[in-house]
Structure 1
């Protein structure tokens, strides 16, 4: 299938824009890759330290026999349900590596926080920058420089982008990601949301709310809605960085351990010189475009309009929101998974999953097929569904037709002709909106605004019945420089209640919404942010704001003269103090000061 003209054009302009930085990046990789392996290159004391704790046979392999040595970077902890299954993965990996004459070591661990735990608390203000901490921790782990390949264990929101950014700074290494899969289905996401809305209205108490939440989040594995964590897994499949079809196999499935072992075999197949596929070459401009297309086709998390800008920069590639917008105009929406529909990721997997979506996009000419991947068969291998063969090994089969066309559809009959994300711009700056979950009659909202300096202030106004009207809620001082850009998912229930009463409601903010953001229109990631002198600092209570997702505009209805004459508000002193102390936030002050805009990936390291 011939590549779609828009996909081709966007890729070409990214390649041209990135030429200087990508060239410099590849030159660095070539220089690093030309060195002898670490066990031969490093001094004797260095080598002795690196392998002192290895079993004798492994020492013999890696030093005398010059066997490949795999570095494992793990995000295991058992606070995150998605990461709890990874506790035993290093032992499985080491065992499989030995079977193939190789060795493996846990190079290091990276922090992993659960946004579900920290949502609405001061700890959430560490969340976005934890991505860069994870990237740095990945670099520290691999800086021992005695590895011939890497296996990265991670699933959730900031963890996968952080691991990926860190790994791309060691782009000469063949690298494969290993997930753990989603938890089995519990209380449906729709039912959970209904209980949350009742709680926001005071119709149910804490006991009933906790019972519902515990029925939804009930076991090991990733949360079952299509938020940032599961979007991560979809994008890694589309980038060719997994064992194909690994993303949404449950932790307890019989084939799960064999998929982990296959990851070892996959990375060793590259390491032993059978083919050339280090991660810095796998992740090129075409690979990044494939990830963007997969995000749009599945209505994925808005967080990736920040994270994948940063991931691309780590590989010397420069993308922006105009690229996402151009692709969104031609990429059809092929799946509906909560919050874009009622299905969860287990139903998505049963209906065809990532393999079905990738096949449809490839066949429609909407993804680059001629890309490098961790598998010899390239991206086409990622259209298969894995299962155990009679001999206990793995086999992949074509997903066939959709098993449920209310969940996944072919590119010839999509849910929508365009993608799930839309660029907004106007006198309030540049931002984005996730329209795939928003009813069409809510794509345009024009109403007076209420300006809030914090999430808590909005909740207070809601509880005082001050918002029972058409209203656009502006929540500012929520960007990277102000307070680390926390997710504002706790605002969804009260706004959904107002919308349910028939009012026209929207959120406008320089903060983030969770990957679970849904039916309430939300113009987010406004750049430049208020704390950096952005236009949200000029908005006043009562201003008429028009959010038009169809036209891609977001503006305050005042004359240019009046708008430009308004002074910029200053972040209240109490917020400056509240956002900078306690819960370790003091340690992130340097990151807040140096953070780039959301559209630039909110990077603290450039």
Structure 2
């Protein structure tokens, strides 16, 4: 089927507005490519340092300088369940490279924080900044110029975007992303949500809450709900940077290990030393970026990617705008229902047909680019397939079933859960924001109510505990943007606001901060820009101002005479000094001072010059 005209138009618009920066970016890749193994550029002393710790066999190959050397960038640590399986990966990768006459070395490790641990804590104020920190750390690892390809071991929230930003800054070095897979299903998402809400109402104690949380997050692998971590995995597949069907295979299984070995084989096949040179800077063009946005809409993915994808695009010399997300949302249907947009988890999504079925449906409907380069060398058609391990342990990709195995979780384009993707742009006299409505009840798409204004989420919780919310309300939480305090996710708000909505109140949230990648049933105008600390209009709001959040007409506004609103003085900002120290926050003052706005990726890195 021919490409949908809106998909075509958005892709062309990105390409046209990015023409100059993209050309400069591609010129840099061409200049950096060079000839022969990269380590041959090093002096004898440089090279000796580079292989001093290797095995004798690897040393000899590195001395000879005729075979590829793979750099491993690992986000392994024991604290992240999703990343714990990576402990085994370097030896698997080294062995696979040796068996194919090549070498592999761990080039560097990058930090990997768990948002699940820091949610609601002050450490969350470093979470978004960790993305660019990871990119910087990856840049240091690759600066040794020893490597002909790189394998990126990362899964979770800011880690994959940070790794990809760095991979694109080193866009001449072929790159594959290597996942580790989700943990087995534990306590159901419905059960967990019920206990969380009971705890917020004081009807469950800490022991009961900890029990259900521990049964939910219980083993190595990613959390099984569809938050940012699993949205990352979807993106790496639908953008052609990860092997087909590899996202949601469980850790520490024979199939998972076989996929890791296959990643080595593919990396070796696309270095500049062969005839199929394929670096990430060539893969991630306008088509791959648009595919990422489409995948986000089709699966009801994390709102965090309205920030991350913009920053990723900038790293590739491309300008992605919120208007592009909005335009594509109108034509891309929601095909997946995974918690918090439904009751299923990612294991059920995978069993229903997973990424192979999703990609096939979108391609056949003309809603996905299929003809750009991917790490398989075969375009997106290869992503219709799923990996299988034969009895003789050989790995093969076979076409996924033509029908969904569970239409309550995954549906065809002809019978979507909803006609659009559920991510929308809002604008008005308060600025610009985004909203995710894929799990918001339709009768809550428009909320108009008096505002209650807060400068932090703890104050909201205290007001809730005091029983102050008895009528319809738009809760405003400001000074939560990247320049104010690093833009933490305001996850602590979800249970309290959910309780209020459950009591029949009409409730909405307006904030210049972020919500969780798993934000759900409360209509939330998030990522509001300009943020309060930068003179954004949200700073002028007062208790009692009537505010409208409308996902139907795309509006976020205070209902007031225009001249009166314009004349209202901007109040002085509150004392934010408490956000400046503790748990390392003082070390990130430079980040707060230099970070760009949320709608431009909340990043330290500028456009290609």
TM over 0.5: yes
Give the number of equivalent residue pairs. Answer: 604
User: Gaps (5+ residues) in structure 1?
Assistant: none
TM-aligned CA deviation for residue 2 of structure 1: 0.4
Q: How does 1:124-523 map to 2 (within 5 A)?
A: 124-271=124-271, 272-400=273-401, 401-523=403-525
TM-aligned CA deviation for residue 30 of structure 1: 0.3
User: Gaps (5+ residues) in structure 2?
Assistant: none
* Aligned partners of 1:592 and 1:604 also within 8 Å: no
Alpha-carbon deviations, 1:370-409, whole Å to 9, x = none?
Answer: 1100002221111111110232111222221100101111
Work out the CA distance in 1 between the residues paired with 2:524 and 2:302.
Answer: 13
**In the alignment, which residue of structure 2 is the partner of 1:602?**
602
Which of 551, 554, 559 is matched with 2:553 structurally?
Answer: 551
* Aligned partners of 1:11 and 1:285 also within 8 Å: yes
TM-aligned CA deviation for residue 65 of structure 1: 4.7
Work out the CA distance in 2 between the residues paired with 1:591 and 1:240.
Answer: 31
Work out the CA distance in 2 between the residues paired with 1:486 and 1:577.
Answer: 16
What's the secondary structure of 1:474's corresponding residue?
Answer: strand
What's the secondary structure of 1:67's corresponding residue?
Answer: coil
Work out the CA distance in 2 between the residues paired with 1:249 and 1:96.
Answer: 20
**In the alignment, which residue of structure 2 is the partner of 1:41?**
41
TM-aligned CA deviation for residue 39 of structure 1: 2.5
**In the alignment, which residue of structure 1 is the partner of 2:19?**
19
Work out the CA distance in 1 between the residues paired with 2:327 and 2:451.
Answer: 30
Work out the CA distance in 1 between the residues paired with 2:464 and 2:62.
Answer: 63
Cα RMSD after superposing both structures: 0.9
* Aligned partners of 2:39 and 2:65 also within 8 Å: no
1:88 matched to 2:72? The reply is: no
* Aligned partners of 1:531 and 1:570 also within 8 Å: no
* Aligned partners of 2:171 and 2:279 also within 8 Å: yes
Work out the CA distance in 2 between the residues paired with 1:437 and 1:276.
Answer: 43
Work out the CA distance in 1 between the residues paired with 2:571 and 2:18.
Answer: 37
* Aligned partners of 2:482 and 2:592 also within 8 Å: yes
TM-aligned CA deviation for residue 605 of structure 1: 2.5
TM-aligned CA deviation for residue 601 of structure 1: 0.1
* Aligned partners of 1:432 and 1:525 also within 8 Å: yes
TM-aligned CA deviation for residue 11 of structure 1: 0.4
Alpha-carbon deviations, 1:171-218, whole Å to 9, x = none?
Answer: 101110001100100111111111111111110111111111111111
What's the secondary structure of 2:152's corresponding residue?
Answer: strand
Which of 526, 529, 549 is matched with 1:527 structurally?
Answer: 529
Work out the CA distance in 2 between the residues paired with 1:330 and 1:323.
Answer: 12
**In the alignment, which residue of structure 1 is the partner of 2:113?**
113
Work out the CA distance in 2 between the residues paired with 1:539 and 1:193.
Answer: 32
* Aligned partners of 1:39 and 1:66 also within 8 Å: no
TM-aligned CA deviation for residue 37 of structure 1: 2.8
TM-score (norm 1): 0.99
TM-aligned CA deviation for residue 420 of structure 1: 2.0
* Aligned partners of 1:35 and 1:41 also within 8 Å: no
TM-aligned CA deviation for residue 276 of structure 1: 2.6
TM-score (norm 2): 0.98
Alpha-carbon deviations, 1:45-73, whole Å to 9, x = none?
Answer: 11111111111211211221511000000
Work out the CA distance in 1 between the residues paired with 2:375 and 2:362.
Answer: 19
Work out the CA distance in 1 between the residues paired with 2:330 and 2:571.
Answer: 36
Work out the CA distance in 2 between the residues paired with 1:373 and 1:389.
Answer: 25
Work out the CA distance in 2 between the residues paired with 1:532 and 1:524.
Answer: 16
Alpha-carbon deviations, 1:258-297, whole Å to 9, x = none?
Answer: 0100000011111251413111101111110011100111
What's the secondary structure of 2:396's corresponding residue?
Answer: strand
* Aligned partners of 1:39 and 1:63 also within 8 Å: no
Alpha-carbon deviations, 1:21-59, whole Å to 9, x = none?
Answer: 110000000000025433221111111111111112112
Work out the CA distance in 1 between the residues paired with 2:391 and 2:252.
Answer: 19
TM-aligned CA deviation for residue 134 of structure 1: 0.1
Work out the CA distance in 1 between the residues paired with 2:316 and 2:41.
Answer: 26
Q: Which moved more, 1:58-67 or 1:299-308?
A: 58-67
